Structure 1
């Protein structure tokens, strides 16, 4: 068994996804609170649609030594399809243990292999200082702080090939 793995979500993975996104603390900086089963199902269905578009990009379950840590994504940005978008959610018990760095490194490697010159954005809650610090560690720069889709939002970008 590999130490650290990103495995694309499939239709059989709803239970593991729901176990992550129903947690209020985990989702505090994503949606403000944990998702209901109905909300989680809707989001999961959209994840499967994204995963069907491009075999290299999408949403991934993240494991270390066979233990489910959370999920990550590298997908085309819905508002600007000339940019990729990175994202990640970790179970709370794995916060502050260096997994965010491993996850970002793995997701950025996917982008580098598949779309090496495409800019990548990260959307975070401005109050999520740990996530901002993590993205900045990889060279992302903040370019927007405000509200988007009714949520506080900060956008950071990693420009490629410049």
Structure 2
């Protein structure tokens, strides 16, 4: 597998075009929301994303910039989701031209490393489309196991968890 080097930078207001490049892409969104996100909805979602990025220093939704070319390749996230369970959620979306080359695994590994370095965090979850076998393989390699398959917002979703080892 190729070694990749990425910069993970929290999205800022001026990054909307990069974000929209992902969420309006049919191939990217086929396994995320089963539809592309219309411009007005993407604007609202991006405003929420920017707000969330300001809430916690250790968590965020990041632009993934590949080194040394400084190429934008997608999004990664490590979001705080549940205080009582000390749980976070990881996620990632890549532009199609960067699929199938190990970048998803490298990004998931980097988000898990961030999670391991957050004091008190005990579990990490991920939500995928059960048909997204590539994401399932990536997450299983990171120690995730399926907790349940359910419906979220009218879509079938596979909830996966892993425990962080101190």
Q: Normalization by structure 2: what TM-score?
A: 0.90
Q: Secondary structure at the match of 2:110?
A: helix
The aligned residue for residue 17 of structure 2 is 15
Question: After superposition, what is the alpha-carbon deviation per residue over 1:45-73, rounded to whole angstroms, capped at 9, x for unaligned?
Answer: 11111101101211000011200110010
Q: 2:158 — aligned with what? A: 154
- Measured in 2, the distance between the counterparts of 1:106 and 1:139 equals 14
Matches of 1:149 and 1:115, distance apart in 2: 32
Gaps of 5+ in 1: none
Aligned residues: 161
CA distance in 2, matches of 1:137, 1:43: 30
Question: Within 2, Cα distance between the matches of 1:147 and 1:79?
Answer: 23
Report the CA distance shift for 1:108/1:30 in structure 2 as closer, same or farther (over 3 A): same
TM-score in terms of structure 1 length: 0.92
* Structure 2, gaps ≥5 residues long: none
Work out which of the residue numbers 144, 148, 152 in structure 2 matches 1:140: 144
The 1:90–1:116 alpha-carbon spacing in structure 2 relative to 1, beyond 3 Å, is farther
1:84 is the counterpart of 2:88 = yes
User: Residue in 1 aligned with 2:130?
Assistant: 126
1:128 Cα deviation (Å)?
0.5
Q: Give runs of ≥4 in structure 1 deviating > 6 Å.
A: 78-81
Contact 1:116 1:160 in 2 (8 A): no
1:21 and 1:132 mapped to 2: Cα distance?
Answer: 21
Q: Structure 1 residue 107: deviation in Å?
A: 0.7
Structure-2 residue corresponding to 1:39: 41
Q: Deviations over 1:11-35 (max 9, x none)?
A: 1110111011100110111111111
Instruction: Output one character per residue of 1:103-145: Cα deviation in whole Å (capped at 9) or x when no partner.
Output: 0111111111124642000000011010011000010000111
Provide the secondary structure at the position in 1 that maps to 2:32: coil
What is the alpha-carbon root mean square deviation over aligned residues? 1.9
Which whole-Å CA distance do the structure 2 matches of 1:153 and 1:80 have between them? 23
Q: Which residue of 2 aligns with 1:99?
A: 103
Q: In structure 1, how many angstroms separate the alpha carbons of the residues matched to 2:83 and 2:38?
A: 26
